[in-house]
């Protein structure tokens, strides 16, 4: 909240009158610049401002988000009055065309239009309960209209001799109303009587405005006139009680604030003045530089005030909406509604009444008495025997039970000590007095302007940007440089919460250090007090509205109206409040925290004391005592305290307390407790849980447990990593079968590939309809199967793209298009012979260079030297043979043009190339036959080395397992084979019309 200063305040009465005046905070909620505003009204339930303009329009603005909600073009003449009728969803307007118009503000339909007067309509007054309205006009008449009788004029009131400027109903007696006229009089009327009851005379010029006093029992009426004066009348004695002077021009509007002891006036001098309704002091003057003031609007139950100007409209929030109330430790609540004091007792509900979170308590309200001053604060002393009311620059101490005056005096603020017999008061910016047993004890010597005081174990005196703590003897304890809004002490005095505008601080107070320093007279050595008196524990960035301590737990509600509590720096949200509520206190016997709203409705929420004590002990790291409290905490709260334990770094204890199996499993994994995690995983039987457990077991070297868990999770990728690291041939074979059955073709392919089962790899590709990949695989690893796979591919491709299928070259028919095909066949046999042997993992370094072997070159060297080329078991050594070259068909001259052994006539080749390029850019045959000679050499060589190293015995030595796991990581890139193959197919123009989905293999994203 901010105070309007500098250019917004013409007279500095706010500060000049500080010694006696209460402070009413003022906050601007809306400012809209428009044409001249002649009237304003506030909606009773929506955040809406209604403004009627001199240009003939009316507008509705939302005061919360500053947006225009509705607008109506009423007429071309000035609209001088407009009012909400919330119970009918209407707006009623009166204008210079002498018509009354009724609109539905939801549908914007025009409900009724009728001529009401023979001259300008000045004002409309809505009866609070009956279906009638009053109108007044420059024709000197006042009329009563009944909308349930077809808007008939049921009565006419005559008596004024000049324009009637305003009419208003008496809120305390709705059968009477008052009127103001330029004939210099105020008249009071009875509904049902055509003549006035009486006339109030006293103004020297025309009276423009009137209003009734709404608070308390004073029979007051206020009027403002062109003589620049404001008069307060007692309509029972018909006497003028007070005349207020201060405006420099005509008074255009006046009102009593419906909730605060304020009189508000607006003048054509452009200013708004706030006067105290009891003392009639001028409290403040506001000038928003919007030229002349024409109208004021308010709504009962709200602190908002609307003002209409020549150049726009504003909405101000005056004072605070927090109710003046206090609750003692036994549950007795006392509140002040204006000057009336009432009480309720929460304990009167009895144990048989079941309290529901968030619901209003049905309590019997008892009138306790009245206050001799307007209460701005009300607070119990610690033992609940006395209640202090402070306001109007004074304080009164009452007895809580009988409401008898015990003590009184001057005070801008009042604060109780933790000792119920001591208190302090701030009489001015430089004087703070301390009392004990209602007798003045001492006073504080201040060298700064005191803007506020706070009680508790120490006295806190606030200035603009710091606070100084004193003990109750007047010694300086510590100065803390922070802008303070409120201070809250815990019951033990060990902790204090210092609340600022946007954050609060939790500090520990060391009474022992202070006592020692005071005893040694070292406290006065430093003007800032004792260095070690306070320790900062936590700083939390939240705006606190109201707060209470319960033990070491700080309970508060924030600016977002969430009910939170803080223990050990940990903030927990209890409830989201549906409207502004303010904390009263906590009753441990009921385990509930109590709040009150602006309508004095009391609401409660559950907050277990055992939960607070548990968290307090954990924050103090007293785990033994905390765990002893667990049985007293309801089981449905165990997961909450387990999470709190975990957040504080005690996962083992959290595992003992938690009841949610999923959360317990996560804790067991965090702690590395395989037994507990395995037990929970068995109960839940969830794939992700088994996978987590398997990964934990693998990371801790429990490979058999990991294997079992990964199989339960069907985590084929993890099993692949494990088996490949172990060199487990039987396991890989089983994995290949299960993965293929489960549709995990990537894993199945890699397992078969590591086992050296190349034909099975090819069959898997064919069965998965990945025929282009199968053909390329055979070109690289199984040249003897190229022809077989190509036939299958062509047959399948003919169904979708016959021309592309025809372009495929079969190696059996066109071996000339496949360079070194014969040597590749021999190298295939040679590789098969090399892969007959298995070697243990310990021999890896001896075979590490196999990846660089060139098998085709080795075969060529063996044949050139006349040696026999080794083959697989049961086969004869290969002998050199002349290749058989088939004559290509005329249109098939699409071979690799850079190969010297391809002889095709140039013209035929170019013609066919152009024809085929139009169909598919480059034929698949060209891709198949375009592989340069080194490609199969390197592929077969690398393949041979890879297979030779991965054909390990079923059980490798235990001491080699960790090393094997690390080496197996090098195999992870193999998992991307299918994806890479898919990309290769997309580059083949001859099958551009075929995508992965057409081949029927899902896009398996699993990787090792």
Q: Is the pLDDT of residue 335 over 60?
A: yes
Whether the CB-CB separation of 999 and 767 falls below 8 Å is answered with no
Burial of 57 (0-12, 13-18, 19+ CB in 10 A): middle
Q: Is the pLDDT of residue 596 over 50?
A: yes
Per-residue pLDDT reduced to its tens digit, 482-507:
999 999 999 999 999 999 999 999 99
Name the β-bridge partners of 469. 460, 478
- DSSP helix/strand/coil, 234: strand
* Domain final residue pick, 647, 665, 695: 647
Question: For residue 693, what pLDDT is reported?
Answer: 85
Burial of 870 (0-12, 13-18, 19+ CB in 10 A): middle
CATH number at residue 525: 2.130.10.10
Ramachandran category for residue 921: left, alpha or beta (phi over 0 → left; psi -120 to 50 → alpha): left
Are residue 377 and residue 492 in the same domain, yes or no? yes
- DSSP helix/strand/coil, 150: coil
In this prediction, residue 949 has a pLDDT band, given cuts at 50, 70 and 90, of very low
CA distance 632 to 476: 44
CA distance 832 to 866: 21
- DSSP helix/strand/coil, 627: helix
Residue 353 belongs to a domain? yes
In this prediction, residue 866 has a pLDDT band, given cuts at 50, 70 and 90, of confident
Give the residue carrying structure tokens 């890896």.
844
Per-residue pLDDT reduced to its tens digit, 739-765:
988 889 999 999 998 888 888 899 999
Give the list of residues 6+ apart from residue 584 with CB closer than 8 angstroms, or none: 325, 326, 327, 333, 548, 594, 595, 596, 602
Whether the CB-CB separation of 456 and 489 falls below 8 Å is answered with yes
Q: How many CB atoms lie within 10 A of CB 249?
A: 14
And the tokens for 994?
Answer: 């075929």
Q: Is the pLDDT of residue 918 over 80?
A: no
Are residue 620 and residue 731 in the same domain, yes or no? no
Whether the CB-CB separation of 657 and 641 falls below 8 Å is answered with yes
Q: Is the pLDDT of residue 893 over 60?
A: no
Q: What is the mean pLDDT of the chain?
A: 82
CA distance 349 to 589: 13
Give the list of residues 6+ apart from residue 716 with CB closer than 8 angstroms, or none: 735, 738, 739, 742, 744, 747, 1006
And the tokens for 548?
Answer: 């209470």
Instruction: Give pairs for 682-688: CB < 8 Å, separation 24+.
Output: 685/712, 687/712, 687/713, 687/714, 687/715, 688/713
Give the list of residues 6+ apart from residue 734 with CB closer than 8 angstroms, or none: none
Q: Is the pLDDT of residue 425 over 90?
A: yes
Quick one: average pLDDT of 445-450? 90
Are residue 747 and residue 890 in the same domain, yes or no? yes
- DSSP helix/strand/coil, 343: strand
Rg, the chain, Cα only: 46
- DSSP helix/strand/coil, 682: helix
Write out the E strands in 597-654.
602-606
CA distance 896 to 928: 10
CA distance 772 to 408: 100
And the tokens for 385?
Answer: 């025997």
Residue 80 belongs to a domain? no
Residue 367 belongs to a domain? yes
CA distance 346 to 456: 25
Per-residue pLDDT reduced to its tens digit, 155-212:
999 999 999 999 999 999 999 999 999 999 999 999 989 999 999 999 999 999 999 9
Question: For residue 522, what pLDDT is reported?
Answer: 62
- Domain range for 629 is 608-647
Q: Is the pLDDT of residue 342 over 60?
A: yes
CA-based nearest residue to 39, from 169, 165, 139 = 165
Cα 676–Cα 682–Cα 685 angle in degrees, nearest 5? 130
CA distance 199 to 186: 6
Cα 414–Cα 418–Cα 419 angle in degrees, nearest 5? 100
Residue 303 belongs to a domain? no
Are residue 769 and residue 801 in the same domain, yes or no? yes
In this prediction, residue 629 has a pLDDT band, given cuts at 50, 70 and 90, of confident
φ/ψ of 169, rounded to 5, equals -80, 150
Instruction: Say what angle helices 855-864 and 934-950 make with each other, to 10 degrees.
Output: 100
Are residue 916 and residue 990 in the same domain, yes or no? yes
Are residue 552 and residue 418 in the same domain, yes or no? yes
Q: Among 57-61, 490-494, 980-984, which stretch is predicted with the lowest mean pLDDT?
A: 980-984
Quick one: average pLDDT of 881-910? 34
In this prediction, residue 871 has a pLDDT band, given cuts at 50, 70 and 90, of low
Name the β-bridge partners of 707. none
Give the list of residues 6+ apart from residue 592 with CB closer than 8 angstroms, or none: 355, 586, 604, 605, 606, 607
- DSSP helix/strand/coil, 8: helix
Per-residue pLDDT reduced to its tens digit, 701-744:
888 888 888 888 888 888 888 888 888 888 888 989 999 888 89
Are residue 330 and residue 473 in the same domain, yes or no? yes
Return the top range by mean pLDDT from 162-166, 279-283, 832-836.
162-166
Q: How many CB atoms lie within 10 A of CB 828?
A: 24
Q: What's the sign of the alpha-carbon dihedral 626, 629, 631, 634?
A: negative
Are residue 732 and residue 795 in the same domain, yes or no? yes
In this prediction, residue 23 has a pLDDT band, given cuts at 50, 70 and 90, of low
Give the list of residues 6+ apart from residue 621 with CB closer than 8 angstroms, or none: none
- DSSP helix/strand/coil, 584: strand
Are residue 506 and residue 620 in the same domain, yes or no? no
Are residue 769 and residue 635 in the same domain, yes or no? no
Residue 698 belongs to a domain? no
Whether the CB-CB separation of 118 and 104 falls below 8 Å is answered with no
Quick one: average pLDDT of 20-27? 66
Cα 775–Cα 777–Cα 782 angle in degrees, nearest 5? 95
Total-model pTM? 0.66
And the tokens for 701?
Answer: 């070297």
Quick one: average pLDDT of 683-709? 85
Are residue 641 and residue 575 in the same domain, yes or no? no
In this prediction, residue 44 has a pLDDT band, given cuts at 50, 70 and 90, of very high
Residue 472 belongs to a domain? yes
Quick one: average pLDDT of 6-22? 35
> What DSSP character marks residue 162?
S
Whether the CB-CB separation of 542 and 558 falls below 8 Å is answered with yes
Are residue 512 and residue 569 in the same domain, yes or no? yes
* Domain final residue pick, 587, 607, 627: 607
* Domain final residue pick, 607, 629, 661: 607
Q: How many domains does the chain have?
A: 3
CA distance 120 to 139: 7
Within 21-167, where are the H helices? none
- DSSP helix/strand/coil, 509: strand
Question: For residue 523, what pLDDT is reported?
Answer: 57
CA distance 811 to 764: 21
Q: What are the DSSP calls for 885-936, one per residue?
A: PPPPPGGG--S-TT-TT----HHHHHHHHHHHHHHHSS-HHHHHH---THHH
If one compares 919 and 632, the residue with the highest pLDDT of the two is: 632
And the tokens for 1007?
Answer: 């990787």
Residue 738 belongs to a domain? yes
CA distance 236 to 245: 24
Residue 841 belongs to a domain? yes
> What DSSP character marks residue 511?
H
Question: For residue 625, what pLDDT is reported?
Answer: 86
Give the residue carrying structure tokens 């009012």.
83
Q: What's the sign of the alpha-carbon dihedral 522, 525, 527, 531?
A: negative
Whether the CB-CB separation of 809 and 926 falls below 8 Å is answered with no
CA-based nearest residue to 475, from 453, 450, 496, 444 = 444
CA distance 512 to 527: 20
Q: Is the pLDDT of residue 827 over 70?
A: yes
Neighbour-count burial for 470-498, b at 16+ CB within 10 Å, e otherwise: bbbeebbbbbbeeebbbbbbbbeeebbbb
Strands 570-576 and 562-567: antiparallel
């Amino acid at each position: 909240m901010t105070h309007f200063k500098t250019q917004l305040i013409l007279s500095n009465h706010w500060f000049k009158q500080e010694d006696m005046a209460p402070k009413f905070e003022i906050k601007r909620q809306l400012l809209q610049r428009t044409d001249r505003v002649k009237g304003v009204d506030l909606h009773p339930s929506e955040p809406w401002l209604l403004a009627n303009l001199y240009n003939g329009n009316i507008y509705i603005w939302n005061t919360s988000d500053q947006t225009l909600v509705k607008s109506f073009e009423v007429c071309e003449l000035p609209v001088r009055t407009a009012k909400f009728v919330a119970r009918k969803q209407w707006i009623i307007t009166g204008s210079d065309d002498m018509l009354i118009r009724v609109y539905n503000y939801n549908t914007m339909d025009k409900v009724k239009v009728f001529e009401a007067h023979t001259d300008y309509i000045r004002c409309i007054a809505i009866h609070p309960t009956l279906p009638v309205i009053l109108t007044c006009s420059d024709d000197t008449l006042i009329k009563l209209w009944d909308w349930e009788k077809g808007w008939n004029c049921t009565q006419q009131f005559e008596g004024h001799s000049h324009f009637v400027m305003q009419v208003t109903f008496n809120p305390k007696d709705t059968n009477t109303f008052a009127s103001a006229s330029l004939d210099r009089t105020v008249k009071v009327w009875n509904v049902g009587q055509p003549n006035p009851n009486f006339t109030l005379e006293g103004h020297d010029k025309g009276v423009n405005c009137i209003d009734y006093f709404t608070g308390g029992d004073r029979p007051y009426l206020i009027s403002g006139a062109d003589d620049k004066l404001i008069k307060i009348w007692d309509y029972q004695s018909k006497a003028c009680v007070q005349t207020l002077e201060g405006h420099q021009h005509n008074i255009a509007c006046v009102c009593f604030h419906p909730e605060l002891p304020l009189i508000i006036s607006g003048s054509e001098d452009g200013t708004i003045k706030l006067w105290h309704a009891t003392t009639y002091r001028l409290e403040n003057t506001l000038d928003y530089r919007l030229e002349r003031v024409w109208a004021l609007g308010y709504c009962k139950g709200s602190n908002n005030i609307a003002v209409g100007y020549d150049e726009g409209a504003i909405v101000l929030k005056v004072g605070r909406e927090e109710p003046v109330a206090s609750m003692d430790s036994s549950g007795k609540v006392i509140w002040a509604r204006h000057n009336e004091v009432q009480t309720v007792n929460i304990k009167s509900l009895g144990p048989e009444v079941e309290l529901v979170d968030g619901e209003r308590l049905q309590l019997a309200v008892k009138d306790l008495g009245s206050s001799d001053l307007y209460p701005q604060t009300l607070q119990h002393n610690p033992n609940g025997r006395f209640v202090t009311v402070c306001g109007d620059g004074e304080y009164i101490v009452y007895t809580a039970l009988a409401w008898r005056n015990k003590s009184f005096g001057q005070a801008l603020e009042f604060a109780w000590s933790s000792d119920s017999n001591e208190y302090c008061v701030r009489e001015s910016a430089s004087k703070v007095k301390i009392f004990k047993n209602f007798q003045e004890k001492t006073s504080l010597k201040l060298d700064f302007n005191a803007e506020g005081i706070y009680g508790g174990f120490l006295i806190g005196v606030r200035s603009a940007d710091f606070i100084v703590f004193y003990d109750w003897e007047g010694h300086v304890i510590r100065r803390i440089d922070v802008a303070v809004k409120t201070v809250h002490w815990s019951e033990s005095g060990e902790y204090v919460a210092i609340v600022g505008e946007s954050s609060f601080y939790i500090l520990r107070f060391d009474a022992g250090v202070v006592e020692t320093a005071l005893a040694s007279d070292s406290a006065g050595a430093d003007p800032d007090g004792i260095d070690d008196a306070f320790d900062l524990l936590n700083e939390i960035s939240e705006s606190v509205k109201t707060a209470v301590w319960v033990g070491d737990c700080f309970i508060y509600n924030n600016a977002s109206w969430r009910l939170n509590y803080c223990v050990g720096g940990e903030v927990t949200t209890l409830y989201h409040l549906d409207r502004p509520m303010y904390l009263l206190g906590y009753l441990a016997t009921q385990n509930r925290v109590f709040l009150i709203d602006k309508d004095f409705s009391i609401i409660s929420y559950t907050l277990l004391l055992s939960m607070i004590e548990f968290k307090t002990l954990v924050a103090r790291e007293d785990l033994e005592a905390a765990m002893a409290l667990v049985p007293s905490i309801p089981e449905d709260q165990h997961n909450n305290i387990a999470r709190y334990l975990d957040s504080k770094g005690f996962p083992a204890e959290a595992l003992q307390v938690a009841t949610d199996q999923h959360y317990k499993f996560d804790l067991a994994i965090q702690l590395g407790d395989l037994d507990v995690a395995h037990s929970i995983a068995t109960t839940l039987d969830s794939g992700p849980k088994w996978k987590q457990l398997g990964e934990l077991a693998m990371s801790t070297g429990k490979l058999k447990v990991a294997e079992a868990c990964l199989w339960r999770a069907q985590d084929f990728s993890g099993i692949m990593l494990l088996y490949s690291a172990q060199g487990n041939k039987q396991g890989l074979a089983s994995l290949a079968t299960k993965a293929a059955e489960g549709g995990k073709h990537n894993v199945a392919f890699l397992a078969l590939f590591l086992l050296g089962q190349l034909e099975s790899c090819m069959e898997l590709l064919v069965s998965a309809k990945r025929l282009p990949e199968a053909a390329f695989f055979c070109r690289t690893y199984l040249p003897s199967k190229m022809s077989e796979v190509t036939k299958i591919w062509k047959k399948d491709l003919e169904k979708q793209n016959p021309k592309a299928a025809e372009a495929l070259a079969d190696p059996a028919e066109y071996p000339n298009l496949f360079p070194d095909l014969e040597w590749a066949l021999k190298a295939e046999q040679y590789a098969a012979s090399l892969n007959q042997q298995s070697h243990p993992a310990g021999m890896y370094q001896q075979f590490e260079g196999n990846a660089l072997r060139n098998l085709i070159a080795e075969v060529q060297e063996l044949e050139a030297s006349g040696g026999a080329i080794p083959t697989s078991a049961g086969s004869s050594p290969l002998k050199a043979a002349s290749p058989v070259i088939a004559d290509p068909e005329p249109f098939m001259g699409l071979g690799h043009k850079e190969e010297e052994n391809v002889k095709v006539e140039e013209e035929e080749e170019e013609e066919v190339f152009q024809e085929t390029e139009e169909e598919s850019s480059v034929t698949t045959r060209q891709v198949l036959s375009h592989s340069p000679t080194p490609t199969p050499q390197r592929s077969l060589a690398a393949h041979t080395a890879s297979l030779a190293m991965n054909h390990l015995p079923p059980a490798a030595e235990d001491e080699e397992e960790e090393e094997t796991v690390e080496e197996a990581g090098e195999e992870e890139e193999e998992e991307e084979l299918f994806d890479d193959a898919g990309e290769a197919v997309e580059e083949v123009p001859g099958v551009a019309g075929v995508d992965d989905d057409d081949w029927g293999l899902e896009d398996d994203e699993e990787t090792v």
